[in-house]
Chains A and B, each alone.
Chain A
Amino acid sequence: MLVSADPAPNSTIGTAPKQIKLLFNEALQDVGHTIALLDEKQNKIAIGKAMLDPKDQAKKTVIAEIPTALAAGNYRVDWKALSTDGHTVKGSFKFTLAEMVEMTLKFAFKAGKEPVACGKEIKNLGARRTTAQIMDARMYISNIRLIGPGGEVPFELVPDGKWQTDRVALLDFEDGSAMCKETGNADLRDVIIGKAPAGKYTGIVFDLGIPFELNHADVAVEAAPLNIQALWWNWQTGYKFVRIDLATNSAPPNDKWFIHLGSTGCGMMEKGHSSDPHGMANKPPEKPCNNPNIVTVRLNRFDPNKDQIVADLAGLLTNVNIAQSTPKPAGCMSGVDDPDCRRLIPNFGLSLAKGQCVNGCRGQRFFRVEAAAKP
């Protein structure tokens, strides 16, 4: 059975693929596989011979190189593979290579209608209408797709060496002033720049978080924006997808409330918490995290040319009591057994117990769409 393919079946891509890669659920024989690539007129395009991917020791991946750059258009892949059990599996799928145009997605950080910034008091936050101000406000966004008449198309990030790689973008709403001085910096970032097929779009889907394969890296050697120590826990747990630190007007020890969303249950280290009895802190996990805590946000009625996406702190803190926090840690650090997470995590649209979207994360209260302010 074909598990996945690159290019993905029925996908629209912006960059000409250099190879076709098919992943199966069973081990394959050394020979007997075929991959054919056809253009819109059903003409066969010359590609390399289908062969097992030498990088996949499990022998479950077949690849075929595409030696020439493909032109924009619709393509079909016909494939056959010979499984170890002797069965031939075959199939066919289409993908579209589109011409891409540059676009800018605008974001804003607000509490209700009020913009949020360092040094500015925010009133009526959470269940107890607490007054607070931010000490940090940053988040990672990935896997962005725009919704058009034909379905979802990819929004390919343009790497800039600072705010975006080709897979992950950072939004930064703190400017290092006032109480943001401790962990923040002067730069601000409220846009994501990328490319998408030219067309009219009516919605957007993106992940608040970092894909698993990129989440467990060494922050000391990673390229920006994945090199920020303040947004990283350790190799096992990975990055803080969202970091919003609040200073409240409550008396100590309830004067701080942190929102750190990230994956948990990622390996042996967490069994012993910070004591790391297995010495795993400096290794990536060996299997996917139990609680990925990646929020898939789907916003309909979004026009990238006219609208902006608002990260609404007031919405996120709906019914959350930030006037008090159970000590160690103050606020929610994504722990399954952290009482402060009980009301917060569902506002991301996630299940606290499983760390996965409930009903496609449709219940999330953090992001909404509003008309962008005219420049």
Chain B
Amino acid sequence: MNDRVSAWSRWVFLALPLIIPLIVITVLIAVTNDISLVQRASTAMILMVMVVGLHIFSGNSGVISFGSVAFAMIAAYTSALLTIPVEQKPSLFPDMPGFLSWIVEFSLPVPAGIVVAVLFTGVVAVIVGVPLVRLSGLSAGIATLAFLVVVQVVVTKWKAVTRGESTMVGVPKEATLWWALAGVVLAIAVAALFQVSRNGRRLIATREDDKASMSIGISIPKERLVGWTLSCMVAATGGALYGHYISTFSATTFGFALTFFIVAMLVIGGMGSLTGAVVGVLVVQVLSEFFRTLETQGLGPIPIIDFPGLTEMVLALILLIVLIVRPSGITGGTEVADWFARRKSPESSAS
């Protein structure tokens, strides 16, 4: 009983300090009605959904995954296939193989499409996860990277279903700033819930000391699989939202570049804390939008600095500097709640 009360209060202290400022900022941005600002905020929050998703697994288990973008991609394509208007489907997918021909015959409203896509991705995540969660360290990194390559190749080459290297078009563009906010609030709420749950705490225990946690009867593969599946489903939500936000995309949209960005955001913010995931996205997005503006339109007295790749180069440099100066990220793996409690977080050693 006592345990449950404190779990709920910990959930509140973990999630609300992140959710409330995000809602306030979003409302302020919506009030300005500045189109480019609204766009940037929406992109940032959709990315945040994916980063929070990655955090649920990597942050709590200490095992890096380069595969979360693969699940975002699967969900984006699934939701697109389900929601493209029925009248456009025959011309977009003339060679749809027989066993998938039912897809051409109907179309779902976007919210339903996203839900089905996320559930489907969850099933894929379980199938892939059962063997993969047995790996740790570099093997896990390589295996998840290999999975990303496999999904990339399949999506690029399976022309009949994914339109191959041509972009996916006709995807209903319904996701707005408010959808992005809803996605991020949901992602943070789920991530915080997981972190205070028994499963989440057991997973964190395996990160802190795998042998000690095994000795008290924790099954590492089992706990990782729970975190992995949840993590992939949240990343999938981000991917599906992204699809309905940009409405035209291809396999390269969900490639190494996006993977790098998402992992970088998590590391810059501070791996091991939910606050770090949120802070990392905000810092990286603000910086990258600043340089992108510089690249495309100049900023006040600063003239346009037109070099393709400049934004990415400077970001990579900043990431390098953060890693060298502060290897445990901006938050050092602590949560907002820890700052109020005025104590050093026991998680600060995590990375």
A-B interaction: no
